[in-house]
Amino acid sequence: MKGSEILIEALVKEGVEVIFGYPGGRALEIYDALYAEKRLRHILVRHEQGAGHAADGYARATGKTGVCLTTSGPGATNLVTAIATAYMDSVPLVAITGQVSVGQIGKDAFQEADMTGITMPITKHNYLVRRAEDIAPTIKEAFYLAGAGRPGPVLVDMPSDVCRQSTEFKYPEKIELPNYKPTIKGNPRQIKQAAELLKNAARPLIISGGGVITSGACPELAELVKLTKIPVASTMLGLGAAPPDEYFLGMPGMHGTAVANYAICAADVIFAVGMRFDDRITGDPEHFAKQAKIIHADIDPAEINKCVPADVPIIGDAKEILRELLARLKKEHFERRTEWLQQIAAWRQKYPLRYQKDSRVIKPQQLLEALNDLTGGDAVYVADVGTHQMFAAQYLRITAPRRFLSSCGLGTMGFALPAAMGAAAARPKERIICLAGDGGIQMNIQELGTIASEKLPVKIIILNNQWLGLVRQWQQLFYQGHYSHTDLRGRQPDFLKLAEAYGIKGVELKDPQLFAKQLKAALAFKGPVLINALVKRDENVYPMVPAGGVLNKMLF
């Protein structure tokens, strides 16, 4: 078989169903092999960055490894932002890029780019395949590495002449990587220590991260909360890991709930599982949870003690650790920690998420509350980056894992639209709602063409405040109201005409008395819809912890 045919066979062996891609000269052999291929669905995007984000959205929505395919040079470099996005959020992704022929590498050939060098800091691993015999084992390794341990993106660079070479197809049944052996089971002694701390704590708190969802540990987390009656907060990547019940405190951090932030500052034991203590969660790490003993469980040993020192570090898979922890704690009897839960209830009552309704204009929070009512949580929300993202994390009721997808680590504007089409391709029977700002939506707006041509029934809601909203808020609060190049009035397209140009139904929401009814009708429409929601221009996201601040010193 030719190398390009081996590549396709290898993808089929790995259970790949959908590829997001864009053809070009150095990928022509691969696309020729795809010409009559019926086992794989190829979705033609309108920009390579869109291919990367779509594969990312597919992976987040399913837990499977997403796949994207581009040509060499600019086609490959256009993937860099998408690869970095997946890397920061630990998303399993295999990016396949065309490359100049082996003999031309390093000679500045037309559309040559050193993709293994460029992507080395933002991939788990990358490969430059130099022989057709290496294609099958490379793909096997790439998929194993993308999903094993802490997931992440892997790049496979395919020279055009290697795709033309012929060799016998042999697909390895298993893979052996002696230098990569992720620790799965936690250390029993450390789990015992963690159990003792949680059992004896007066003011315990759980913080769950995206690793809980990745490992499929949400049932174990729910059981732990039910058994121990310990309140739980979730990072943005972890939203949906914990059920939104009486013990759920919401998201902590810069734009987290007041109750979650106050609980962190007052806790005497914090069990952090599958999260990495990034700066948006901790604020000033020197003042983070000063009263608490920290139990930190994560599959990546590099995260332990990186940002916040751990009193009890546990390296391993979240599901395995929670199972072992539950086995120990089930032997104990837990009373409701009445005083602690009363304190939490008092914070919840005194500092709820709140906003002032305005009869003249739609508030972003109001629109998100209407979405809660209309969907009952039965939707996959894909949020872009900005004020709408923070409002969504605060106000939406995320009832299950993999129902809130967003670029959290890299904060990539333009992520949501292509990621939503990836989610729609992955979960065609579910309601997919893309939430975007009027700034971010324009960064990959060409993917409206993909959504229209593939008939992906994504409901796109633009929360249009005619600002780069989150930057504007910082300029207001910390830069004396110097709104430098963030005002988008008069600098926007007519979104309804743009939707019409792509053959997509367009709806505008501007009347606070009528918008809920219009929104209901738009969500009921069978095909894709673009909803331009004109919301209050200067609505800020509160609470807010200033960058590098202390969690209990919030702006309200």
- Nearest to residue 390, comparing CAs of 448, 278, 473, 279? 473
| 227 belongs to a structural domain | yes
| In the block, residue with structure tokens 């490959």 | 76
**Residue 269 corresponds to which amino acid?**
V
Q: How many domains does the chain have?
A: 3
- Whether residue 141 is contained in a domain is answered as yes
**What residue type is assigned to position 114 of the chain?**
D
CA separation for the pair 162, 156 (Å, rounded): 12
315 and 402 inside one domain: no
Boundary residue ending a domain (350, 379, 407): 350
Q: Report how far apart, in Å, the C-alpha atoms of 404 and of each of 57, 89, 261 are.
A: 10, 13, 21
Q: Are residues 25 and 132 in the same domain?
A: yes
* pLDDT tens, per residue, the chain with 556 residues: 999 999 999 999 999 999 999 999 999 999 999 999 999 999 999 999 999 999 999 999 999 999 999 999 999 999 999 999 999 999 999 999 999 999 999 999 999 999 999 999 999 999 999 999 999 999 999 999 999 999 999 999 999 999 999 999 999 999 889 999 999 999 999 999 999 999 999 999 999 999 999 999 999 999 999 999 999 999 999 999 998 889 999 999 999 999 999 999 999 999 999 999 999 999 999 999 999 999 999 999 999 999 999 999 999 999 999 999 999 999 888 888 999 999 999 999 999 999 999 999 999 999 999 999 999 999 999 999 999 999 999 999 999 999 999 999 999 999 999 999 999 999 999 999 999 999 999 999 999 999 999 999 999 999 999 999 999 999 999 999 999 999 999 999 999 999 999 999 999 999 999 999 999 999 999 999 999 999 999 999 999 999 999 999 999 9
Of 350, 380, 402, which residue is a domain's last?
Answer: 350
CA distance 268 to 289: 8
Do 187 and 212 form a contact (C-beta atoms < 8 A)? no
Same domain, 332 and 371: no
Rounded CA separation 14/30 (Å) = 17
pLDDT attached to residue 128: 98
Q: Do residues 198 and 332 touch, judged by C-beta distance below 8 A?
A: no
Rounded to an integer, what distance in angstroms lies between the CA atom of residue 95 and that of residue 55?
A: 9
**For the chain, how big is the Rg over CA atoms in Å?**
24
Are 62 and 28 within one domain? yes
Verify that 136 and 34 share a domain, yes or no.
Answer: yes
Check which CATH number belongs to the domain holding 101 and give it: 3.40.50.970
**Dist. CA 30–CA 192, nearest whole Å:** 52
Task: Write down the H helix ranges in 502-551.
Answer: 515-524
The whole-angstrom separation of Cα 252 and Cα 236 is 8
Query: Which CATH number does the domain housing residue 299 bear?
Result: 3.40.50.1220
Residue 335 has what pLDDT? 83
Q: In what order do the strands lie in the sheet with 505-509?
A: 404-406, 380-383, 432-437, 459-464, 529-534, 505-509
Last residue of a domain, which of 305, 320, 350? Answer: 350
Q: Are strands 269-273 and 204-208 parallel, antiparallel or unpaired?
A: parallel
> For residue 176, what are the contacts with CB-CB under 8 A and spacing of at least 6?
none
Is the residue at 530 inside a domain?
A: yes
Residue whose C-alpha is closest to residue 67's, from 139, 169, 5: 139
Residue 253 in any domain: the answer is: yes
Q: CA torsion, points 435, 441, 447, 451, in degrees to nearest 10?
A: 30
Question: Looking at the domain assignment, is residue 79 inside a domain?
Answer: yes
Whether 61 is covered by a domain: the verdict is yes
3-state secondary structure 359-411: CCCECHHHHHHHHHHHHCCCCEEEECCCHHHHHHHHHCCCCCCCCEEECCCCC
**What is the SS3 assignment for 145?**
helix
Domain that holds residue 497: 364-534
State whether 272 and 339 are in the same domain.
yes
The C-alpha atoms of residue 75 and residue 69 are separated, in whole angstroms, by 9
Q: Determine the pLDDT at residue 519.
A: 98
d(CA 294, CA 447): 44
Is residue 169 in some structural domain?
no
**47, 105: one domain:** yes
- Angle of helix 387-395 relative to helix 364-375, nearest 10 degrees, comes to 40
Do 7 and 148 fall into the same domain? yes
Is 242 in the same domain as 105? no
**What stretches of 119-235 adopt beta strand conformation (E)?**
125-128, 153-159, 204-208, 232-234
Query: Which residues, at least 6 apart from 345, have a Cβ–Cβ distance to it below 8 Å?
Result: none
In a domain, 549, yes or no: no
Q: Clarify whether residues 115 and 262 are in a common domain.
A: no
Is the same domain home to 482 and 341? no
pLDDT at 79: 98
Predicted confidence at residue 243, as pLDDT, reads 86
pLDDT (0 to 100) of residue 332: 86
Q: Are residues 155 and 192 in the same domain?
A: no
